Amino acid sequence: MYESVKLSIFAARMNQYKKVALYTLGCKLNFSETSTIARSLEDAGYARVDFDNTPDVFVINTCSVTENADKKCRQLVKKAKKVNPDAYVAVIGCYAQLKPDEIASIDGVNIVLGANEKFNLAEHIETNETSEETVVYNENIKETKDFVPGFSIGDRTRSFLKVQDGCDYFCTFCTIPLARGKSRNATISETIEEAQKIAKTDVKEVVLTGVNIGDFGQGGDEDFFGLVKALDEVNGIDRFRISSIEPNLLSDEIIDFTLNHSKRFVPHFHIPLQSGSDRLLKAMRRKYERSLFANRVESIKKANPDTCIGVDVIVGFPGETDEEFMETVNFLKDLDISYLHVFTYSERAKTTAIKLGDSVPMHIRKERSKQLHVLSNKKKRAFYESNIGKTGTVLFETENNDGWMYGFTENYVKVKTPYDAEKGNTFQYVYLSTIDADGLMLCDVIVPAEV
């Protein structure tokens, strides 16, 4: 033990003049993990710098949900080598777990770390820094069983708190179970300890993140509702926001508690639908029918009509007919939702969906995506218009954007007001007055708010 401590101190001293830059692709969970890995590198003696500040080490945390994420990884490696041809390039994350040999073949990559190995990045760099060959550490995903907690720090306004990892659902279009392994989490008490660390910082809002956060506890003695109630008692964090939750896991008790009884959870849900066709939902291996989804939306709006509801939807899934696409369009039109996240289906290796055949031509996928983006804009506009003339509490960000500053109400209306540095990272009680040409809500600050 004593020898390992001495070696850690020695390594930190050796690295104290080395610079590291990290770049994150993908989801909020990836941002949470990048921040956690960055802190471990800083503990090992590295100084964190921007990507263009001639780092000695580049770390690219990858996503592999879409083909574009794979291409972006290649572009970033090329850019890193332009910034510093002698830099050490580490590629980690989901793409690294799924296709390690493909990444290792990219010119300029020094090390590839899969799901189990990425959290020991500093140690792997120390061990392999002088290797002339690209090093790959990529354990079988079935062996990835440990949960590594984490949270993002850097944007002092909000933090992404990792509460769960992995997924047991195996939807036919998704590679995440292959990239991250089985669903797992820490205990509620351990998760509360992580939240309390955030509470000691300047962060005012925490976004709960994971792959399938509603599966917290996996049917054991603890569950997501228990976690929500425990987090609601954490002092020092003013707001909690649920990033995304499966409709079949969004229970009436969660809806009732967060909207009617919670001190800190805000009225905002993001719920993946994926399709408004029951046949396609079954083909996707989703765990609900559209009637359940409609019921969840109805229950939310009954509890609090001002609640913001975001929806994920996929277009161009194999076999999606024109009629089934219109089922989705009309279903969404009738739902009292606030915005859409539209994903164009892309074929992913090792998924069941690519075996279904009956591929939708790409030009049709793109046209359907455009239609849903138009619908999303209309839904968002209608939601914003429904908030005009109301008051809300806005957490303002710190950046000066050409004389303006932005923030979000508790129900996720993005507002803008003339920049005032003193309002950064503070809550302000505002009157929502009008929507500008960019689709943002203009507001008049009334008084500072006590949350």
Tell me how far apart the alpha carbons of residues 106 and 60 are, in angstroms, rounded to a whole number: 13
Q: 84 by DSSP, 3-state: which?
A: coil
Task: Out of 13-27, 67-81, 248-262, 416-430, pick the least confident.
Answer: 13-27
Closest residue by Cα to residue 162 from 180, 177, 144, 178: 180
Count of H helices and E strands in the chain? 14, 18
Confidence band (pLDDT; 50, 70, 90) for 4?
very low
Topology of the domain covering 391-448: OB fold (Dihydrolipoamide Acetyltransferase, E2P) (2.40.50)
Tell me how far apart the alpha carbons of residues 321 and 302 are, in angstroms, rounded to a whole number: 33
In tens, the pLDDT along 391-410 reads 999 999 999 999 999 999 99
Q: What's the pTM?
A: 0.92
The full set of domain ranges for the chain reads 2-143, 152-261, 267-384, 391-448
Q: Do the domains 152-261 and 267-384 sit in the same CATH topology, yes or no?
A: yes
Q: For residue 306, which amino acid is it?
A: D
Whether 96 contacts 112, CB under 8 Å: yes
Confidence band (pLDDT; 50, 70, 90) for 73?
confident
Confidence band (pLDDT; 50, 70, 90) for 16?
low
Whether 96 contacts 118, CB under 8 Å: yes
Tell me the average pLDDT across 92-97. Answer: 92
Task: Out of 52-66, 75-89, 218-232, 302-316, pick the least confident.
Answer: 52-66
Both tokens assigned to 354:
């690519």
Confidence band (pLDDT; 50, 70, 90) for 5?
very low
pLDDT of 84 higher than 90? yes
* Owner of token pair 């993908």: 26
Residue 9, pLDDT score:
42
Confidence band (pLDDT; 50, 70, 90) for 153?
confident
Confidence band (pLDDT; 50, 70, 90) for 450?
low
Tell me the average pLDDT across 50-55. Answer: 92
Tell me how far apart the alpha carbons of residues 437 and 427 are, in angstroms, rounded to a whole number: 25
Whether 23 contacts 58, CB under 8 Å: yes
Angle between helices 362-387 and 322-334 (to 10 degrees): 10
Parallel, antiparallel or unpaired: strands 391-396 and 404-409: antiparallel
Residue 1, pLDDT score:
45
pLDDT of 12 higher than 50? no
pLDDT of 195 higher than 80? yes
CATH for 152-261, options being 3.20.20.100, 3.40.47.10, 3.50.50.60, 3.30.750.210: 3.30.750.210
Measure Cα distances from 205 to 16, 23, 95, 195, 202 in Å.
32, 23, 30, 11, 9
Residue 107, pLDDT score:
93
Q: For residue 134, which amino acid is it?
A: T
Taken in order 99, 208, 246, 149, the sign of the CA dihedral is: positive
Parallel, antiparallel or unpaired: strands 158-162 and 150-151: antiparallel
CATH for 267-384, options being 3.40.50.2300, 3.30.750.200, 1.10.150.20, 3.40.50.300: 3.30.750.200
Parallel, antiparallel or unpaired: strands 427-435 and 441-448: antiparallel
Tell me the average pLDDT across 153-177. Answer: 91
In tens, the pLDDT along 30-48 reads 999 999 999 999 999 999 9
Topology of the domain covering 2-143: Rossmann fold (3.40.50)
In tens, the pLDDT along 361-387 reads 999 999 999 999 999 999 999 999 999
Q: What is the 3-state secondary structure (H, E, C) of 384-430?
A: HHHHCCCEEEEEECCCCECCEEEEEECCCCEEEEECCHHHCCCEEEE
Neighbours of 334 (CB within 10 A): 11
* Owner of token pair 């001495």: 6
